[in-house]
Every structure is written in C-alpha cells, then in structure tokens.
C-alpha cells in the first residue's frame, strides 16, 4: 500500500518558493553580426568579456609623459593601431568573397588572422570605421574610453570632410549650370 504524497507550496519555506534561478557569470559570450552594404556579406564579432577587454587595453595603453620644467603632459595617440586592435580582438568570423583576378569568379575568403590583417589593409576605410563603431556600440565601456582630444579630432575630421563635400557640391552645381 503506497500512498503518493502531494506537497503544496504551503509546506515549502517562503525562501525556496521565490528563489530565482542562478545565472552562469563565467560563460559570457555574445556574438553580433555586422552586415555589409551588399546585404549578403557579413562580419561576426563578439562582445568583449573581461579577458578580451584587459587584453585590448594592454595592447593599446599609452604612456603619459609629464615634462618636468613646464609641467606639460603629452601622450602619443595612434587611432589606426587602436582601431585595428579592437577589430582583431573582437572579430571571430565572416562571410566574405573576393576575386583573385580582375575577371575571375568570386571565391570564399577563409577567416584567420592573416586574412583579417589583409582585410584591414585593403578594405574601404569607411567600412572599417563603420565596423569599429558597431563594435564600440556593442561594448559601451569603449565609448567611455574616448578622450576629449580623440572626440575633438574626430569632430575636426568631420568638419574637414563637410567642407570638402560643400566645395565638391558647389563645383558640381556650377559645372551643371554651364
């Protein structure tokens, strides 16, 4: 004679009833996909965990030099090196093709450190900058890493680009009216 026992929540202590499931804080891995303008090609990157963040910061740290007599401080900035290191630390794969000859067929490009380096050297700078921005937006702590000088430099670059675009459009408008 066996009797099944049903235990209602009334017999379970309150702390056991409302305990949420515990999370795994060691398994942080989130992958994002950066879609390229053709709508088919993409680059996959991981949001940085603490280990990748520390590695990136170590590879891009800069020395601050304070001049004894004047008290002026200076540091050397290399935005290209920082951008490339950010991408190297984040990108984990892609779906890219290229031609080996001018009229040849498109061939898959395998992802590895060597082809990533080639991509960073040969790609349209605008694509690389857009990828960098996507990675930075996915890692909010990176947005806090920009110094005022870096932001000002980017603003100056944008002003110069705007002036060049205005001049170009003026030239196109004047040549079109002739």
What pTM value is reported for the model?
0.62
**SS3 assignment, position 62:** coil
Torsion of CA 91, 83, 33, 50, to 10 degrees: 60
Q: What is the pLDDT of residues 26-83, one digit of tens each?
A: 877 789 999 999 999 999 999 988 888 888 888 777 666 677 777 776 666 667 788 9
Q: Is residue 124 part of a domain?
A: yes
- Tell me, yes or no, whether 78 and 159 share the same domain: no
What domain range includes position 164?
147-178
- Tell me, yes or no, whether 45 and 73 share the same domain: yes
Bridge partners of 116, per DSSP, are none
The answer to whether the CB of 48 falls within 8 A of the CB of 90 is: yes
Count the domains in the chain.
Answer: 2
């Amino acid at each position: 004679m066996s009797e099944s026992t049903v235990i209602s929540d009334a017999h379970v202590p309150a702390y056991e009833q409302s305990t949420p499931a515990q999370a795994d804080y060691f398994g942080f891995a989130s992958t994002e996909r950066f879609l390229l303008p053709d709508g088919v090609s993409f680059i996959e990157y991981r949001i940085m965990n603490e280990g990748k963040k520390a590695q990136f910061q170590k590879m891009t740290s800069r020395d601050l030099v304070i001049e004894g007599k004047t008290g002026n401080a200076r540091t050397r900035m290399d935005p290209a090196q920082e951008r490339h290191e950010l991408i190297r630390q984040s990108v984990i794969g892609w779906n890219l093709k290229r031609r080996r000859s001018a009229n040849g067929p498109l061939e898959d490009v395998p992802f590895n450190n060597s082809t990533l380096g080639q991509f960073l050297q040969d790609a349209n700078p605008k694509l690389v900058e857009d990828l960098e921005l996507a990675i930075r937006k996915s890692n909010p702590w990176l947005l806090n890493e920009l110094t005022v000088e870096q932001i000002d430099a980017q603003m100056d670059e944008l002003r110069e680009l705007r002036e060049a675009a205005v001049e170009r459009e003026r030239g196109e408008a004047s040549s079109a009216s002739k």
